[in-house]
Amino acid sequence: MPVYLDYAATTPVDPRVADLLGRHLTQEGIFGNPSSSTHHFGQRAARAIEVARAQVAGLLNADAREIVWTSGATESNNLALRGAMRAHRRQGRHLITGKTEHKAVLDVCRRLEQDGYSVTYLDPEPDGSIALERLAAALRPDTALVSLMHVNNETGVVQDLDAIGALTRSRGVLLHVDAAQSAGKLPIDLRACAIDLLSLSAHKLYGPKGVGALFVRQRPHRVRLEPLLYGGGQERGLRAGTLPTHQIVALGEACRIAQAEMGDDRARLQTLRERLWQGLAGSGAILNGHPEKHWPGILNVSFSGIAAEALLADLPEIALATGSACTSGTAEPSHVLRAMGCDAARARGAVRFSLGRFTTPAEIDYTLRAVCAAVARLRVLSPFCASDTADATRSIDWGAPASTTFEGRAGVLVDELWRSDGR
């Protein structure tokens, strides 16, 4: 059966969200241009957009006037970094970020460097966390902005935003957070945490692709940005262009559902992640990331002596990833894992399992059986693992009945696999 475990790349649209989205597309629904304020159709669309703005703000405990619509987290990141650095270039031209950030931040930083700005790239700890002391040491009198993600898209590692925000606020430095992987999944209180700019994307929290938002703090101080797009004056001049009412109301509904169901979703995913990790650990998997400070929807592991591409090719019925969806098509090993100190072999052997709202226990069990069988077969074929595999197979009692443990189920499955191959 096909199993989807790539929720970190994108999520399916929740049926409740899809229903509302459809009702804002056709003539019978609310399809008007929200900027057409002189007639009923435009006014209804404008009201729907403001309801959605309040729903996004409610999820983040922010003021609705602090929410700016964008096409997604990539645009939000660009607007936050380029807009803030340009607007504050007289105060300072130095920016700090982490080496484990998403390419939508790292590539912007490299572009800013070409424009004459200075960027410091922080090394993470081996577990993926950013040490507060390292960040403090990197701050300079001309530092204008710090940009760090909340939840890493490859490892699920969670950064301590409260401590980071307290540090940057005390030094008068703006803080931008890429929350694409955490918004709607972990609590974010923007009234309590000193975050100045925050990016999110609808398609990471069961909304449609092509729409996102940027939180731009107004109180106790107003964050100034230079826009990327001009023409029309929408979003108080920060983001020109006709607003896609259907996508925006869908993002608002996705945020409303996430706020209501976040606790239950997180508890269920924690149980599924532990089930998955215990089974994978039994087959020799190595955890990439922090053992405790993680979002349960993402599990990144490496299998020694096995290339991730070979493993995924042997599991065509299971949707997994070898890294970020934005970079998995490249031949280079994960920049996130390399920054964490993983050697090339471990980085190339890394597989990301990402779970979500519609993942079931049956899918986890099916995945464990399939992965264990594939790992066992590939280790037999691998010259790096042949001796270890031989030792392991000699220790298995192939005639023993399957136990209720993962190891018992896996052993029977591997036995069946070997016999089907004539071994």
**pLDDT for the residue 19:** 97
CB 250 within 8 A of CB 13: yes
Which tokens in the block code for residue 42? Answer: 């435009």
| pLDDT for 390 beyond 90 | no
Q: Which of 61, 32, 62 is nearest to 48 (CA)?
A: 32
| pLDDT for 410 beyond 70 | no
Q: Name residue 303's beta-bridge partners.
A: 285
- pLDDT band at residue 368 under the 50/70/90 scheme: very high
Q: How is 202-257 classified by DSSP, letter by letter?
A: GGGTTS-TT-EEEEE--SSSPPP---S--SS-TGGGTS-S---HHHHHHHHHHHHH
Whole-angstrom distance, CA of residue 375 vs CA of residue 305: 10
Domain ranges of the chain: 13-258, 262-420
Place of tokens 């504050």: 88
Average pLDDT on 354-382 reads 94
Q: For 24-108, where are the E strands, in sequence order?
A: 67-70, 94-98
**pLDDT for the residue 387:** 45
Average pLDDT on 402-408 reads 35
Q: How many CA atoms lie within 13 A of 55 on its CB side?
A: 23
CB 153 within 8 A of CB 181: yes
Burial of 328 (0-12, 13-18, 19+ CB in 10 A): middle
* Architecture of the domain made up of 13-258: 3-Layer(aba) Sandwich (3.40)
Question: For the ranges 9-23, 57-71, 305-319, 375-389, which has the lowest average pLDDT?
Answer: 375-389
The catalytic position among 326, 342, 372, 385 is 326
What type of residue is 383?
A: P
Q: Which of 73, 336, 275 is nearest to 182 (CA)?
A: 73
CB 414 within 8 A of CB 372: yes
Whole-angstrom distance, CA of residue 214 vs CA of residue 53: 11
| pLDDT (tens digit per residue) in 287-329 | 999 999 999 999 999 998 899 999 999 999 999 998 654 544 5
Give the other-Cβ count within 10 Å of 268's Cβ. Answer: 17
- pLDDT band at residue 330 under the 50/70/90 scheme: low
Sheet holding 350-354, edge to edge: 285-287, 298-303, 350-354
| pLDDT (tens digit per residue) in 247-256 | 999 999 999 9
Q: Which of 311, 347, 314, 312 is nearest to 332 (CA)?
A: 347
The dihedral over CA atoms of 324, 326, 330, 332, expressed in degrees to the nearest 10, equals -40
| pLDDT for 418 beyond 60 | no
| Catalytic residue check, 326 | yes
Place of tokens 């199993």: 3
Give SS3 for 166: helix
- The H or E element containing residue 381 is helix 361-381
Domains 13-258 and 262-420 share a fold: no
The mean pLDDT value of the chain amounts to: 89
CB 350 within 8 A of CB 322: yes
* CATH number listed for the domain at residues 262-420: 3.90.1150.10
Give SS3 for 285: strand
Average pLDDT on 102-107 reads 97
Whole-angstrom distance, CA of residue 28 vs CA of residue 25: 8
Question: For the ranges 115-119, 236-240, 292-296, 417-421, which has the lowest average pLDDT?
Answer: 417-421
Q: Which of 378, 8, 410, 5 is nearest to 203 (CA)?
A: 8
